[in-house]
Structure 1
Amino acid sequence: MNHLKWILGILLLMLAFIVAVQNYETLVSPVSFKINFYFFEYQTSGMPLSLIAIITFLIGLFSAWTYGIRERFGLKKQIKSLMKEAQEKDNELNSLRNLPVTTDDIISDQTTEEE
């Protein structure tokens, strides 16, 4: 399985390299963005398209990482709550197991069975 991962990784890197070489002119061509609000206008200087793609990828990676961290902390909180609840249930079960059985309990059980 480990060899398969290496082979797949090498194939993906080769594919990325081939795409980059074949589209070199497009990737280095400058692109400028213009933001035009009613009260604000901004235009970027020419940036290569590859830089824009990398920045977009990093923003997406950071967003996914932030969401994952938030989700992980929420799940840890839920696990802690459930572990506390399970411990309380275990304590209750142990206390019920340790209750002494008296003859009054046996007699009351027999009378309810006869009725």
Structure 2
Amino acid sequence: MKYLRVIALILLFFFSMLFFVQNHELLSTTVRLHLELFGAEFESREIPYYLIVLLAFVAGGFISLVYLLAEKLRLSSELKKGKAQIKDLEEEVNSLRNMPLDDENYTSETPEQQESRP
């Protein structure tokens, strides 16, 4: 599994570098971002496209990391609750195993056989 991850990372790096090299001219052009929000206007300085693509990639990776971390924490707490429940049930089974059996309460006879007894 480790090898597959390493290969996937190498392929991702290779294709991203290939993308940047083949589109260097287009990605080097600059753009000015403009945002109008509730009457307020915001404008960035000129930034190259490759920086926008790179920042979007990093932001996506960070958001995925946060999501996966939250999911792992949720699953680990669920696992902890399940293990505690299993432990409680095992203790209950062990306590029931160790209880002495009463002959009066636990017989192998059917109710008809018990009635026919003198």
Which band: TM-score by shorter chain?
Answer: 0.7 to 0.9
Which of the two has greater helix per residue? 1
Q: Which runs of 5+ in 2 are unaligned?
A: none
Tell me which residue corresponds to 2:90. 90
Output the amino acid matched with 1:81. Answer: K
Tell me which residue corresponds to 1:41. 41
Instruction: Sort the Cα spacing of 1:100 and 1:113 in 2 relative to 1 into closer, same or farther, 3 A.
Output: farther
Q: Deviations over 1:90-112 (max 9, x none)?
A: 001001111111221244x4243
Q: TM-score, normalised by structure 2?
A: 0.79
Query: Pairwise mapping of residues 1-115 of structure 1 onto structure 2 (< 5 A)?
Result: 2=3, 6=7, 12-107=12-107, 109-112=108-111, 114=113
**What is the distance in 2 between the residues matched to 1:43 and 1:56?**
18
Q: Which runs of 5+ in 1 are unaligned?
A: none
**What is the distance in 2 between the residues matched to 1:12 and 1:70?**
25
Aligned residues: 112
Q: TM-score, normalised by structure 1?
A: 0.81
Query: Over aligned residues, Cα RMSD in angstroms?
Result: 2.5
Instruction: Sort the Cα spacing of 1:113 and 1:83 in 2 relative to 1 into closer, same or farther, 3 A.
Output: farther
Tell me by how many angstroms 1:11 deviates: 5.3
Percent of aligned pairs with the same amino acid: 28
Output the amino acid matched with 2:90. Answer: D
